């Protein structure tokens, strides 16, 4: 039997316009878009229907697995809690960002990370999850154990994206050592002298490990068809290095110069939705709102707050000149999906997957009322 659902009396957000009418879902796909009034089907009450959101970089799962120092939760339970939170935020496809390469502040080990990956795979196979889950490997290329940890994912077909990161002080995200001290000196409770030693060690590891680890991981990802992302590029030189390595997504460029160079090179520029909502980077780097206003923003990521993804899309579509709601929604759906080769979702078009969210806006805050994945209600 054919499974068909009709959603009527909706404001349907398409790629370049908003249509008031009905949406026909059939066997998990979008079968038709009809403008005008209809009395058939489920009444959406004039709410927006948008594509299900696609999240490329959220490290939110780790917090469910290790909610306190030295505390470890059941990994399947952690995955389920994370999945419920992203799905009810309108996210229907998520790349769970897992760390590869640990530094001194890490409470987790590479064994913990593999347990989480196994829990994701098991939960997919057992059909426990609301959203469609893939893996994003956050590769800390300065870490001595980076390649060993990366090898834990040999043959793992759930990996769709890998980012090349270096959080050593004095460059990229942490050009300002005061910001780095706020992160690490306070967190690790170091004296000024111990903090200086700590910084020297991290910079030494970066000098020894970063370049060779980048090369090895980039080559492996190209061989396996894994999309590469740069991370925290700050200079033209950083962008040039990313281009040479075959990077396709520029995550969180820290300067407008780097964002512009990435955009001109054809990379998808990704910024954090929390940056959009706060109006500034928490590290003191370039504002995502500025990049959006200048036409230099392609993709948004919730980063550390899942709900910020849908919130930022409606915010940009409302307050930033030159960005319509359809354009802002594309930054959280079509653009991220297509950046990693998922061309079957991310837009409300006939033949694409019926991954959708019903949204009402109250007092400038989007309220997610219903979520469908492949035509099946999941939230």
Report residue 220 as tokens: 């492996």
**pLDDT over 80 at 172, yes or no:** no
Local structure of 69: helix, strand or coil: coil
Provide the pLDDT for residue 105.
66
Nearest by Cα to 97 from 131, 143, 58: 58
**pLDDT over 60 at 1, yes or no:** no
At 70, is the pLDDT very low, low, confident or very high (cuts 50, 70, 90)? confident
pLDDT (tens digit per residue) in 358-379: 999 999 999 999 999 999 999 9
pLDDT (tens digit per residue) in 128-153: 999 999 999 999 998 989 999 999 99
* Per-domain boundaries in the chain: 53-343
Are 302 and 194 within 8 A, CB to CB? no
Nearest by Cα to 95 from 125, 65, 57: 57
Provide the pLDDT for residue 221.
98
Provide the pLDDT for residue 284.
62
At 325, is the pLDDT very low, low, confident or very high (cuts 50, 70, 90)? very high
Are 20 and 48 within 8 A, CB to CB? no
Provide the pairing of β-strand 268-272 with 299-301: parallel
Tell me if the domain spanning 53-343 has CATH number 3.20.20.140.
yes
> Residues 270, 76, 95, CA angle at the centre, nearest 5°?
15
Nearest by Cα to 310 from 350, 361, 344: 361
Provide the pLDDT for residue 280.
65
**pLDDT over 70 at 181, yes or no:** no
Q: Which residues of 144-173 are buried (b: 16+ CB within 10 A; e: fewer)?
A: eebbebbeebeebeebbbbbbbbbbbebbb
Calculate mean pLDDT across residues 208-217.
Answer: 92
Please report how the helices 192-224 and 177-188 are oriented relative to each other, as an axis angle in degrees rounded to 10.
100
Q: Which residues of 71-94 are buried (b: 16+ CB within 10 A; e: fewer)?
A: eeeebbebbbbbbbbbbbbbbbbb
Provide the pLDDT for residue 133.
98
Are 337 and 54 within 8 A, CB to CB? yes
Provide the pLDDT for residue 107.
79
* Global confidence as pTM: 0.92
């Amino acid at each position: 039997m054919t499974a068909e659902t009709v959603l009527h009396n909706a404001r349907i957000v398409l790629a370049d316009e908003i249509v008031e009418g009905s949406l026909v879902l059939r066997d998990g796909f979008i079968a038709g878009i009809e403008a005008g009034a209809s009395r058939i089907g489920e009444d959406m009450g004039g709410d927006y229907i948008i594509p299900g959101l696609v999240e490329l970089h959220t490290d939110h799962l780790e917090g469910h697995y290790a909610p306190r120092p030295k505390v470890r939760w059941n990994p399947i339970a952690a995955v389920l809690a994370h999945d419920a939170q992203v799905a009810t935020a309108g996210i229907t496809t998520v790349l769970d960002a897992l760390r590869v390469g640990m530094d001194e502040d890490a409470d987790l080990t590479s064994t913990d990370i593999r347990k989480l990956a196994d829990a994701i795979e098991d939960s997919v196979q057992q059909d426990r999850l609301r959203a469609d889950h893939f893996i994003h490997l956050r590769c800390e290329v300065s870490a001595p154990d980076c390649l060993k940890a990366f090898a834990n994912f040999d043959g793992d077909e759930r990996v769709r994206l890998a980012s090349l990161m270096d959080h050593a002080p004095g460059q990229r995200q942490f050009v300002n050592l005061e910001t780095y001290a706020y992160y690490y000196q306070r967190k690790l409770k170091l004296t000024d002298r111990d903090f200086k030693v700590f910084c020297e060690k991290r910079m030494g590891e970066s000098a020894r490990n970063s370049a060779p680890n980048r090369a090895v991981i980039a080559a492996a990802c190209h061989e396996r068809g894994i999309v590469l992302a740069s991370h925290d590029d700050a200079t033209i030189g950083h962008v040039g290095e990313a281009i040479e390595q075959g990077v396709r997504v520029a995550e969180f460029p820290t300067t407008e110069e780097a964002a512009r160079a990435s955009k001109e090179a054809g990379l998808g520029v990704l910024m954090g939705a929390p940056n959009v909502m706060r109006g500034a980077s928490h590290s003191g780097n370039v504002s995502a709102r500025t990049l959006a206003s200048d036409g230099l923003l392609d993709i948004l990521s919730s980063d550390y707050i899942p709900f910020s993804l849908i919130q930022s899309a409606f915010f940009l579509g409302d307050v930033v000149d030159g960005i319509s709601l359809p354009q802002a929604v594309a930054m959280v759906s079509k653009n991220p999906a297509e950046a990693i080769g998922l061309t079957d979702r991310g837009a409300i078009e006939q033949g694409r997957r019926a991954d959708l969210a019903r949204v009402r806006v109250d007092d400038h805050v989007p309220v997610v009322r219903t979520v469908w994945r492949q035509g099946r209600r999941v939230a």
